[in-house]
Structure formats: C-alpha cells, structure tokens
Structure 1
Amino acid sequence: MKKVRLHGAPMIAFNITYDANLLLPSGIALGRGVSTGFGWQVSARVVVRQDKPREERRREEASAVENG
C-alpha cells in the first residue's frame, strides 16, 4: 500500500492479484480516480500466441475459459 494524494485528498494506492468469474478486457479501468490513472486492470493469465491463425487462437481461448 502507498499513501497518495488525488486532487488534494489523501487516498491509498495498492496492487492486488485476484480471480474473477469473468474475462475483463485488458486495460479496463474501474473505480474512483480512473481519469487520473488509478484502477487499471491487467490480465495475468491470457497469453495470445501470434504464430497461429486467429480462428485457432479464438477456439483455444474459448476452450480455456470453458475449462477454467
């Protein structure tokens, strides 16, 4: 945790790792302070391989989501 100021108001910033039962788009931002750079989400598990055709990658990603 780190104490920061947002528009003069004291806030706490922190990094967390969590699991969710949905697939959020990489780079989505949630919560207070989004317009000033807080709340950004980054996926830790999704790996996109560029050496395979797009349709094959989509099938693999869909299968991975179904299988957990």
Structure 2
Amino acid sequence: MAKKKEQRIKLDGTATVSSAGKSISMSDDGGPVLTVTNEYGNSASYRIEAHSFDGLWSQLWQYVKDSQH
C-alpha cells in the first residue's frame, strides 16, 4: 500500500487586507500564519496546518466574541 504524501500549505511572501483600522494578514513564518488585528491594535496569530481549518474557524469566532465591547 502506498504511503500518503504529507500535505504542506505553501505561501510565498505576505498578503494583508485592512479596513477601518482592522487587518487580516497571511505570512510565512516557518509555515503559513494568519494574523488578525482589531482597530485597537490587539492581534491574534494562528499557524495554519493542513486539515486544521475547523479549529481555526472556532478560534476566529472566539476572537470576534472576545473583541466585542
């Protein structure tokens, strides 16, 4: 039986989207990293691994809830 090839997400460079003081950026810091920053400068970073989007999604929602006033 053939071994499954390990999946790796590859990112070349950095991408940032910002509006009204909030931003979302992707960078490659030893692997893809998603950073979310609110208008007050608070940020949270998440390393993205293959097959880890469910955990990322729940963490992002928790970040949104925690950041509301």
Category of TM-score, reference length = shorter chain: 0.3 to 0.5
What is the TM-score of this pair, normalised by structure 1? 0.32
Greater strand fraction, Structure 1 or Structure 2: 2
What is the TM-score of this pair, normalised by structure 2? 0.32
Determine which structure has more spread, i.e. the larger CA radius of gyration.
Answer: 1
